[in-house]
Structure 1
Amino acid sequence: MKLFKQLTLFVTFLSCMGIMSSCNKYLDVVPKGQQVIESTNDYYNMVALPNRGYPINNFQYLVDDMWIKESYVIGQPKSIDIVNFTFDEQFNRPDLLTASSFYNQCYSYINRWNMIITLVDGSNGDDPAKKVLAKSEARMLRAFDYFLLINVYAKSYDPSTAGTDGGVCIMDKYDLEATPKKSTVAEVYDFIQKDIDESIPNLQEKPVDPYHPSLAFAYALKAKVHLFRKQYAEAKAAALKSLSYNNQIFDLVKYTSQGGPTALPTTAANNPEVLSFMYMTGYNEMNFAYTYIISPELKQLFGSNDARFNLFFTTGPSSFLDAGSGTAFWNVPYTKFFYPTVGLKTTEVYLMLAECYAREGNLTEAMNIVNNLRSKRITQASQAQLAVPATTKATMDIIIQERRKELLFGFNRFFDLKRFNLEPDYAKTIVRKFPIVNTTVPQQTYTLQPNSRMYIIPFGQDVLRKNPSLTLNTNETIPFR
């Protein structure tokens, strides 16, 4: 019997896969389940994976936008949250990272995409077009997962060093005996780009459901990859192409006048900005307010008339945050409003396009895009429109601020800090004074330098144990070697 006839799949594939423990044994466990995977349609349906999650707990506090309740730090034993929040660069993080849920999730998904890509051609069915579509969609999602991996576990793409900077393991086919080596940052980006470019000609403008990647999503991801590679002309072209398929913006100003999420709940399917349905923690994310506290700096950045803050955040009083800290937390359940945190959406595409225009010196067009977005975010019309700055840097500063307010939570700010830190004009030293409220311990000032090794997350111990050839991309020490 052919191998694909032996494969089985639970309805909840992710949970049955468990945790992927290493990049050289990422196919250790053949999924067991209830449905035999043998037809072309079975493989095509495997592309859809509702509730796909990307936990950010290994790096969520390495940004200037997130905050933590003081009692979770003061007097507590070292944890990765505390090490990251206090920018403790002297601490050897692999000692705490016994495993990485983000890493393991990404590779479990890659395993799924590789299974489709490798086996669908041998499946039962006489629909060659569907086989091509299944492979193309799986390649597009594989590209997305590798983009996330390379931007978490490696240095941000630097054209001058990407050819030698350490990256992650590339797995391009379903192979139980695979023993891949770590590739460079350039090699991983080339692989991502190849997957995207080979997939796009076969994708659909309107897939069968929102869990299959659309052309708008594909071109948005292409734009993002080119943007991170500093290929601005290519990024601009891809962003424009994405917006030709979906250019909608959810009008939060109108939504405010309608009563907001309490009066008019908006699920994912009713948010036209959403280009991909995926989550940090699962379908009910944003329900756990204590993990989604924004910093005083970000809170002040919103100002008083920004619907992105006024509709969704609260400053208390609440046990979720410290009164008087100047922080705020997300206070709208997922049943009232779906906010895409890690997936792509149209407003990110607009901001990528604005950045491309700014980079090429077309400041007027860049600000037209920004002001169009702000007209649907700022409830005071007189404050929504900003003048065109005199310089590229001043325009970019505005775009970066809008990215912070528009692309909340998830990994976007972490990725942005890493890539902008390679440019002297936009590099930022994060300064954090803590605690703000508690007076039983002295306040300290913590700083995260633009070139800090903390921006590169170490691989987990479980991965390092099972692949002795895998090395860290930082100068930290592996505890057991």
Structure 2
Amino acid sequence: MKIIYKISCLLVLLNLAACKKYTDITPKGSLLVESTKDFYDLVSLPNRAYPITNFQYLVDDMWIRESYVIGARKSLDVVHFTFDETENRVNLISSSTFYNQAYKYINRWNTIISLVDASKGENNLKELAKAEAKVYRAFDHFLLVNTYAKAFDPATAATDGGICIMDKYDLEAQPAKSSVKEVYDFIQKDIDEALPYLQDKPADPYHPSLAFGWAFKAKIHLFKREYAQAREAALKSLSYNDQIFDLVAYTKQGGPNVVPVPAANNPEVLSYMYMTGVTEMNFAYTCIISPELRNLFGSNDARFNLFFNTTSTSLLDAGSGTAYFSIGYTKFFYPTVGMKTTEVYLVLAEAYARENKLTEAIATLNKIREKRIISGTVTLTVPVTVKEAMNLIIEERRKELLFGFNRFFDLKRFNLEADYAKTVTRLFPIVNKTVPQQTYTLKPNSRLYIIPFAQDVLKKNPSLKLNTDEIIPF
């Protein structure tokens, strides 16, 4: 049976309208999708982008130039950077590229899952195509629920408002919003159904591998506080890929300006996804890190010394103590949104620590540090308490998992635990002396951590309710 799709419907897959309905677009051509191989090839989607602009300043690791705040209109960036809870943010979010992109990708995966069985081809390739699409569908739901809902709390997840689950190819679907628990159950089901069919070495790096599948499973268990399962899944992932790129040796070679390391040459990478696209690090001057994170790196960390600039007067506020990522993607590929092996080590270290296996936790952490710290204290000693070990792991996560979603998601999940909750403070401005300096505070239970659905979403699906106490202005 020949299955013909409009390019606009299959490749662009239309923009999602609040989990309710898609709009039609006049096609520029058609694409014949006939064989199972055609569907399998659709899983490979280079340049997947997940813009973080809706929440990038709600973390203690990121900073903004002072001229973008002082005297500027009250944009979402300004509201989030100054931790302003008085503003009704729905007024400032007419649409969300991240939200629409994620659901567009989900509909692509649903197209494959729903229709591949009717195509011409081998059954094993059909199962592989569905498995890979399910892993990616789970990944996109994970990003959405952790952005627009409360972090997973075992005590309240069943009643906490989540997001719409899109589980089938249906342009007329009108699903209701699911709870956080229901979304996580759906994610785990997709992953568990996919793992038996994934491959160790897929056809190309844009297909999910077994190492990625198990790494993602480990991450889900970690976020659900299922630490034994997280440990087992992390070890399974590392059995397929346990490589850590040696930045200490790389420093001795001269670094990215002498020895370029493009994406294909970085063995840590488990998945290729981006904040804006494959070339995003060419524009990384927009990724300014805070004085707090810069100080956390210290002076002997190759992750900072190799990649960050602290002196540019055209891209930084001189004297602010900030820094920006200054190495283009062709010189060194640095994963931002996709997973990498060092994140799996960090998941494993945390799982060990939560189980009070502190020796194993710190030994795992030291495997990363041995490839990151140039001099001084390279290997950490085993602390006495779980809390001390966890603090070391949290610090290492901040330094290793830069940009993207990781710190935002981490703050949300750790803020649910008294031992690790953090009140973020921001002294601003640092350089400008014409306006009073203030201390801005982001409390662990702030509603700002839950991003409200955008106006276009809410207008097209009136039954969709916010997960915050903000007001819909229509």
TM-score above 0.5, yes or no: yes
Whole-angstrom distance in 1 between the partners of 2:176 and 2:92? 24
Deviations 1:218-243 (A, max 9, x none): 00000000000000000000000000
How much does 1:372 deviate?
1.4
Could you tell me which residue of structure 1 aligns to residue 38 of structure 2?
42
**3-state DSSP class of the match of 1:329?**
strand
TM-score for the superposition, normalised by structure 2: 0.98
Could you tell me which residue of structure 2 aligns to residue 457 of structure 1?
451
The 5 A counterparts of 1:24-43 are 24-26=20-22, 33-43=29-39
Please say if 1:181 is aligned against 2:179: no
From 389, 392, 398, give the equivalent of 1:404: 398
How much does 1:33 deviate?
3.8
How much does 1:365 deviate?
0.7
Deviations 1:337-376 (A, max 9, x none): 1100000000000000000000011111111011111010
Deviations 1:27-62 (A, max 9, x none): 755976442112111100000000000000000000
Aligned partner letter, 2:60? D
The answer (yes or no) to whether the contact 1:7–1:30 under 8 Å persists in 2 is no
Could you tell me which residue of structure 1 aligns to residue 73 of structure 2?
77
Task: Tell me whether 287-296 or 455-464 shows the greater mean CA deviation.
Answer: 287-296
Please say if 1:276 is aligned against 2:274: no
Deviations 1:150-181 (A, max 9, x none): 00000000011000000000111101221110
Provide closer, same or farther for how the CA distance between residues 317 and 39 of structure 1 changes in structure 2, counting only shifts above 3 A: same
Aligned partner letter, 1:395? A
Please say if 1:6 is aligned against 2:4: yes
Aligned partner letter, 1:453? R
The answer (yes or no) to whether the contact 2:13–2:107 under 8 Å persists in 1 is no
Please say if 1:366 is aligned against 2:361: yes
How much does 1:383 deviate?
1.5
Please say if 1:216 is aligned against 2:214: no
Aligned partner letter, 1:468? P
Could you tell me which residue of structure 1 aligns to residue 311 of structure 2?
316
Please say if 1:140 is aligned against 2:138: no
Whole-angstrom distance in 2 between the partners of 1:347 and 1:289? 21
Aligned partner letter, 2:258? A
Could you tell me which residue of structure 2 aligns to residue 119 of structure 1?
115
How much does 1:26 deviate?
4.2
Provide closer, same or farther for how the CA distance between residues 214 and 186 of structure 1 changes in structure 2, counting only shifts above 3 A: same
How much does 1:437 deviate?
0.2
Aligned partner letter, 2:88? N
Aligned partner letter, 1:342? V
Provide closer, same or farther for how the CA distance between residues 12 and 385 of structure 1 changes in structure 2, counting only shifts above 3 A: farther
Could you tell me which residue of structure 2 aligns to residue 444 of structure 1?
438
From 349, 354, 373, give the equivalent of 2:349: 354
Unaligned runs of 5+ in 2: none
Whole-angstrom distance in 2 between the partners of 1:17 and 1:82? 33
Whole-angstrom distance in 2 between the partners of 1:85 and 1:479? 23
Whole-angstrom distance in 1 between the partners of 2:284 and 2:401? 17
Aligned partner letter, 2:451? I
* Identical positions, percent: 68
Deviations 1:302-351 (A, max 9, x none): 00000000000010133111000000001001111110000000000000
Whole-angstrom distance in 2 between the partners of 1:422 and 1:461? 29
How much does 1:288 deviate?
1.7
Whole-angstrom distance in 1 between the partners of 2:26 and 2:195? 30
Please say if 1:52 is aligned against 2:48: yes
Unaligned runs of 5+ in 1: none
TM-score for the superposition, normalised by structure 1: 0.96
The 5 A counterparts of 1:61-460 are 61-125=57-121, 127-380=122-375, 382-460=376-454
The answer (yes or no) to whether the contact 1:17–1:29 under 8 Å persists in 2 is no
The answer (yes or no) to whether the contact 1:40–1:131 under 8 Å persists in 2 is yes
The 5 A counterparts of 1:10-21 are 13=11, 16-17=12-13, 19-21=15-17
Deviations 1:402-428 (A, max 9, x none): 000000000100000000000000000
Whole-angstrom distance in 2 between the partners of 1:132 and 1:12? 20
**3-state DSSP class of the match of 1:260?**
coil
Aligned partner letter, 1:63? V
**3-state DSSP class of the match of 1:6?**
strand
Provide closer, same or farther for how the CA distance between residues 101 and 42 of structure 1 changes in structure 2, counting only shifts above 3 A: same
Deviations 1:432-472 (A, max 9, x none): 01000000100011000000010000011111010011000
Whole-angstrom distance in 2 between the partners of 1:202 and 1:123? 18
The answer (yes or no) to whether the contact 1:9–1:36 under 8 Å persists in 2 is no
Whole-angstrom distance in 1 between the partners of 2:119 and 2:336? 35
How much does 1:22 deviate?
2.2
Could you tell me which residue of structure 2 aligns to residue 477 of structure 1?
471
Whole-angstrom distance in 1 between the partners of 2:141 and 2:332? 29
Whole-angstrom distance in 2 between the partners of 1:18 and 1:57? 21
How much does 1:21 deviate?
3.1
**3-state DSSP class of the match of 1:262?**
coil
Provide closer, same or farther for how the CA distance between residues 386 and 5 of structure 1 changes in structure 2, counting only shifts above 3 A: same
**3-state DSSP class of the match of 1:144?**
helix
The answer (yes or no) to whether the contact 2:131–2:194 under 8 Å persists in 1 is yes
**3-state DSSP class of the match of 1:384?**
coil
The answer (yes or no) to whether the contact 2:15–2:22 under 8 Å persists in 1 is no
RMSD: 1.5
The answer (yes or no) to whether the contact 2:369–2:379 under 8 Å persists in 1 is yes
The answer (yes or no) to whether the contact 2:349–2:364 under 8 Å persists in 1 is yes
The answer (yes or no) to whether the contact 1:266–1:338 under 8 Å persists in 2 is yes
**3-state DSSP class of the match of 1:445?**
strand
Deviations 1:225-265 (A, max 9, x none): 00000000000000000000000000000000011111111
How much does 1:386 deviate?
1.2
Whole-angstrom distance in 2 between the partners of 1:301 and 1:463? 39
Whole-angstrom distance in 2 between the partners of 1:11 and 1:205? 31
Provide closer, same or farther for how the CA distance between residues 450 and 31 of structure 1 changes in structure 2, counting only shifts above 3 A: farther
